[in-house]
Structure 1
Amino acid sequence: MLLTIDRICKSYAAFPNPPTRVLHEVSFGVNHGEALGLVGESGSGKSTIAKCLLALTRPEEGSITYDGIDVVNARGEDLRRFRREVQMVFQDPYGSLNPRMTAEDLIGEGLLVHGIARNSVERRSRVAEMMEMVGLNPDDMDRYPRSFSGGQRQRIAIARALVIRPRILVCDEPVAALDVSVQAQVINLLQDMQRKLNLAIIFVAHDLAVVRHLCENIVVLHKGKVVERGSREQIFGNPQNPYTQSLLAAVPVPDPALGRARREARHAAQAAG
């Protein structure tokens, strides 16, 4: 297992009230090249898990292990290696990019920080290669974020995360702020990058249609607890937990007849139970 989260708990201060527990003994793992979906409604703890596994906040209990590194207590070279090999793509491409930096500076910043490209010529070459890989024109590397569309900005954010060749990419609802047509392009790009780079992806989302398209395995969260986990086929084909069933039932169905039949079947099952 490349990354293992074992029984982590996290609370936030709620002064003058007692601390509020937002994660309750959450456990799951991610293998090399796997796409894992973390799903649940707002407030279920998805983003807090992402912050914990990126060492942006510390859980009070439990452990997080990445390729032999104790992430919670990592220091020095272990922490630098972890920061280099586990990268994140944030939800808002407008807020996650510095508007004063060009696309070249944004994408190449990680190369500079981690000492991967030794000179500006090498960095520029790596940036151009990465821009082309994510579907951007390398001739645009001197432009600023304001001159790109939302989808292009998210491609810049993805290129920025992937240019240092991480092994895990954490995506915190990366398509939620984009138009539907652009969402499909970004999801297809992530799938393509996963195959090309043998990349493990942890995909945080509340949109089950997106998760179904991208992720082979799924963890369902409710009020900070893992209520169900399994393969895509298991979760969508035969969900066991009532909360998972309610999530799937809430997914809009474009065919009215199919939607009506599904509602009738659900009502019949509830009446029988």
Structure 2
Amino acid sequence: MTLLDVRAVTKDFRGTRALRAVDLAVGEGETVGLVGESGSGKSTLLKCVLRLERPDSGEIRYDGIDVIRADRAQRRRFRREVQMVFQDPHASLNPRMTVEQLVSEGMLVHGLERSRAGRRDRVAELLSMVGLDPSDMGRRPGSFSGGQRQRIAIARALAVRPRLLVCDEPVSALDVSVQAQVINLLADMQAELGLAVLFIAHDLAVVGHLCTRIAVISRGEIVESGPREQVFGAPRHEYTRALLDAVPIPDPTIAR
């Protein structure tokens, strides 16, 4: 079943076309990668999906909800069921709040757990799930590494039991040695919880480790879309081939 359905979405900014009749779909429990270089339209599409920008034309539906014209109750449901993991965990976590406060805030907003004890138990469960020690819930983000902060951000997103996780370049601000850990964590969470994931990145290699289907965007247009094996094995568009050529090869001699 299609959970997120973007159809013919167009967006202009001061006469410049940022999105050109974009189609994109994410099925329930599916992981889809949206790949493109800076300025390709990824961020504009993301803002339209999350209702931060209004498209000039087209349609965006989430599980039957018309995202653009949603009423108050539909918007509240959408905001709970669609959660974000942002690019920079240093900027996306309030440095004045403890881990417990950060992870439990969404539960309070959406009325999912009324008691303090219940929220603490849920925070402890989530921290364990993402590979952190529940005893650290009283600490603040500044005392954690970048990779640990991104784990906290993932726990925060999962706290309200979302159906769709939108990840906006969630490993690009991390050291290379940490990126694989976060990618593997997201894959584990997706499999364990049956989440749908829209993973936005500029690096095809990163997307290839996580996503079963890939859409490539260039100059505001989806130029190629298909299963991972097809996009990697037999790319049809020259832009996709250029992105693949830019992927570093660990040992060129072995590759040859």
Task: Identify the TM-score tier after normalising by the shorter chain.
Answer: over 0.9
What is the aligned-residue RMSD (CA, Å)?
Answer: 1.0
> Quick check: 1:6 aligned with 2:2?
no
Among 161, 164, 189, the alignment partner of 1:165 is 161
Cα shift at 1:10: 1.2
Cα shift at 1:5: 0.2
Q: Aligned to 2:179, what secondary structure does the other structure show?
A: helix
Seq. identity, % = 63
Q: Aligned to 2:230, what secondary structure does the other structure show?
A: helix
In structure 2, the residue matched to 1:74 is: 70
Cα shift at 1:247: 1.1
Alignment of 1:32-111 (within 5 A): 32-111=28-107
Show structure 1 runs of 4+ deviating over 4 A: none
Unaligned regions of 5+ residues in structure 2, if any? none
Q: Aligned to 1:21, what secondary structure does the other structure show?
A: strand
Q: Distance in 2 between matches of 1:200 and 1:57?
A: 22
Among 160, 170, 173, the alignment partner of 1:174 is 170
Q: Distance in 1 between matches of 2:114 and 2:52?
A: 28
Q: Aligned to 1:229, what secondary structure does the other structure show?
A: strand
1:36-64 CA distance string (max 9 Å, x none): 00001110011111111111211111010
Counterpart of 1:123, as a letter, is R
Total equivalences in the alignment: 255
Q: Distance in 1 between matches of 2:253 and 2:228?
A: 25
Cα shift at 1:258: 5.7
TM-score, scaled to structure 2: 0.97
Counterpart of 1:244, as a letter, is T
Q: Aligned to 2:92, what secondary structure does the other structure show?
A: coil
Q: Distance in 2 between matches of 1:116 and 1:93?
A: 24
Among 210, 213, 216, the alignment partner of 2:212 is 216
Residue 103 and residue 66 in structure 1: after superposition, are their counterparts in 2 closer, same or farther (change >3 A)?
A: same
> Quick check: 1:249 aligned with 2:245?
yes
TM-score, scaled to structure 1: 0.91
> Quick check: 1:24 aligned with 2:25?
no
Cα shift at 1:183: 0.5
Q: Distance in 1 between matches of 2:48 and 2:243?
A: 25
In structure 1, the residue matched to 2:229 is: 233
Q: Distance in 2 between matches of 1:36 and 1:256?
A: 29
Q: Distance in 2 between matches of 1:28 and 1:199?
A: 17
Cα shift at 1:249: 1.2
Counterpart of 2:6, as a letter, is I
Q: Aligned to 2:113, what secondary structure does the other structure show?
A: coil
Q: Distance in 1 between matches of 2:180 and 2:241?
A: 25
Residues 19-28 or 96-105, more deviating? 19-28
Cα shift at 1:12: 2.1
